[in-house]
Amino acid sequence: MRYFILVLSDKAYKGLRKDECIEAVKSVFNNANFELIGAEILPDELEQIKRKLEELADSGKADLIITSGGTGVSPRDVTPDATLKVIEKRIQGMEYAMIMEALKHTPMGSISRAVVGIRSKTLIVNLPGSPKAVKENLNAIINAIPHAIEKLKGAEGDCGQFLHIEGD
């Protein structure tokens, strides 16, 4: 399964802050059967994020797009808004799982607006912009991701089958 990491951060885009979220995502997928096909940092610009998500999902090259950053309530936090404009189906169970995990670590987890959804045959997952929160949120759903992608691709297997991936 192929994945792409898209970091949304004005400061990282301008080189004012070093991004650590790409490495955080990679560390969680380290033990999984996933191939990183690319990573990019963009500013917090709704239309730019929307276009990139559409481009990646519509190309068919990525089975999974992981975004990091822009999921809060600041005026420049627009990642969920862009994601909602491009997805065809929302997967709220994964969103709930991430919020429940976040709340174990911080009360600020309750203000997450992260979205998980499907465009074509690509799963899009919004994660926070903190490396620690990236790992916590991604580990909350990592075991469901392969099955979701298999189902998107037309697999007819039973949903009762369970695969466990050891994350970082």
Q: What is the pLDDT of residues 42-93, one digit of tens each?
A: 999 999 999 999 999 999 999 999 999 999 999 999 999 999 999 999 999 9
Q: Does some domain include residue 164?
A: no
Chain segment 89-110, per-residue pLDDT in tens? 999 999 999 999 999 999 999 9
Q: Does some domain include residue 65?
A: yes
pLDDT above 90: residue 159 = no
**Pairwise CA distance, residues 103 & 123, whole Å:** 24
Of 120, 125, 18, nearest in space to 68 by CA: 125
Residue 24: which CATH number?
3.40.980.10
Domain span at residue 26? 2-153
Place of tokens 């809060």: 72
Chain segment 9-36, per-residue pLDDT in tens? 999 999 999 999 999 999 999 877 899 9
Q: Report the domain count for the chain.
A: 1
Q: Does some domain include residue 71?
A: yes
Q: Does some domain include residue 161?
A: no
pLDDT at position 166, please?
54
Place of tokens 């039973």: 158
Tell me how far apart the 2 most distant CA atoms of the chain are, in Å. Answer: 48
Pairing of strands 64-68, 35-42: unpaired
pLDDT above 70: residue 157 = no
Q: Are residues 34 and 28 in contact, defined by beta-carbon separation less than 8 angstroms?
A: no
pLDDT above 80: residue 8 = yes
Percent of the chain with pLDDT over 70: 93
pLDDT at position 158, please?
63
Q: Does some domain include residue 163?
A: no
pLDDT above 70: residue 139 = yes
